[in-house]
Amino acid sequence: MDSMSINPAKEQIAQAGFVNKVYAWMCGALMLTGLVAFLTAATPGIIETAVGNRLVFYALLFSELGLVWYVSSRIDSLSGSTATFLFLLYALLNGLTLSVIFLAYTASSIGSTFFVTAGTFGAMSLYGYTTKRDLTSMGNLLIMALIGLIIASVVNIFLGSETIYWITTYAGVLIFVGLTAYDTQKIKLMARADFQTTENMQKGALMGALTLYLDFINLFLFLLRIFGGRRR
C-alpha cells in the first residue's frame, strides 16, 4: 500500500526532472548561440572568415544540417558525452552563421524580437504542456506544411518574389508557433518513458532540447523578418 502511494510521487518527480533537463539544455544552447553570434559579429577577422567567405559560410550551414541529421538518426548508438558534445557544437556553429543578423538588423530590434519570441514560445510551450487535447494530428499537418514552406523558400531564392517572401514569413511564424506546442507535448509524453539508465535520460533530454531549440531559433528568425529594423 505504501509503495503504491509513493511510486506515483516518485514518477512525477522523475518526469519533472526530465523536463527541467530539456529546458536547461535548450536555454544553455540558446545562450551559447547568442554569445558566439555576438562575439563573431564584433570581431572583424572572424566575421570576414565565417560570413564574408561564401565557401566557408555554406560549409558551416551544411555542417549544421549534417550534425542535426547525424545526432537525430544515431542518438541511440551515441554515448551521452558524444551526444552532448555534438549538441553544443551545433549551437556554436549556429552562432557563427547567425552572426549575420547583427550585420543586417539593429541590436535594439534583435533584442526586442528576442523577447517577443521568448514570450510567444513560452506561452505555446505552456499550452502544449498543460492541454488535454491530443496534438498529434495538428503536428502531422504542421510537419507537412513545414516541408511545403522549405520548398517554397528554396524556389523563391531563384524567383526573388516579395509576395512569396512575406507569405512564407507569416506561414513560418504560424508553423513554428504550432510546432512549439506539439513538440512540448511530445516531450511531456517522453518524460513518462522508462529510460533505464542515466545516460539514456541524458540523450533523451538532449533530443528534446534540440527540438525545442530549433523551434525557438526558427520562430525568432521569422519574427525578425517582421519586427527587425534593418541597418541603413
Are residues 61 and 67 in contact, defined by beta-carbon separation less than 8 angstroms? no
pTM of the complete model beyond 0.85 = yes
Q: Sign of torsion, CA 108 110 114 117? A: positive
Residue type, 169: T
* pLDDT above 50: residue 2: no
How far is residue 174's CA from residue 218's CA, in Å, rounded to a whole number? 11
How far is residue 183's CA from residue 139's CA, in Å, rounded to a whole number? 8
How far is residue 42's CA from residue 125's CA, in Å, rounded to a whole number? 33
Q: How confident is the model at residue 8 (pLDDT cuts 50, 70, 90)?
A: low
> Looking at per-residue confidence, does 2 or 90 come out higher?
90
> Which residue's entry shows cell 538532449?
206
Task: Residue 63: count other Cβ atoms within 10 Å of its Cβ.
Answer: 15
* pLDDT above 60: residue 9: yes
pLDDT of residue 1: 41
Q: How confident is the model at residue 22 (pLDDT cuts 50, 70, 90)?
A: very high
Average pLDDT over residues 36-41: 93
How far is residue 166's CA from residue 163's CA, in Å, rounded to a whole number? 5
pLDDT of residue 6: 45
Q: Domain map of the chain by residue range?
A: 2-227
* pLDDT above 90: residue 209: yes
How far is residue 87's CA from residue 134's CA, in Å, rounded to a whole number? 29
Q: Please, what's the b/e burial string for 111-122 (b: 16 or more CB within 10 A of its CB; e: otherwise)?
A: ebbbebbeebbe
For helices 198-227 and 54-74, what crossing angle results, to 10°?
140
* pLDDT above 50: residue 4: no
Average pLDDT over residues 111-137: 96
How far is residue 73's CA from residue 193's CA, in Å, rounded to a whole number? 19
How far is residue 160's CA from residue 108's CA, in Å, rounded to a whole number? 28
Average pLDDT over residues 86-99: 95
Average pLDDT over residues 51-55: 84
Are residues 187 and 20 in contact, defined by beta-carbon separation less than 8 angstroms? no
* pLDDT above 90: residue 142: yes
State the Cα torsion 168-173-179-180 to the nearest 10°.
160
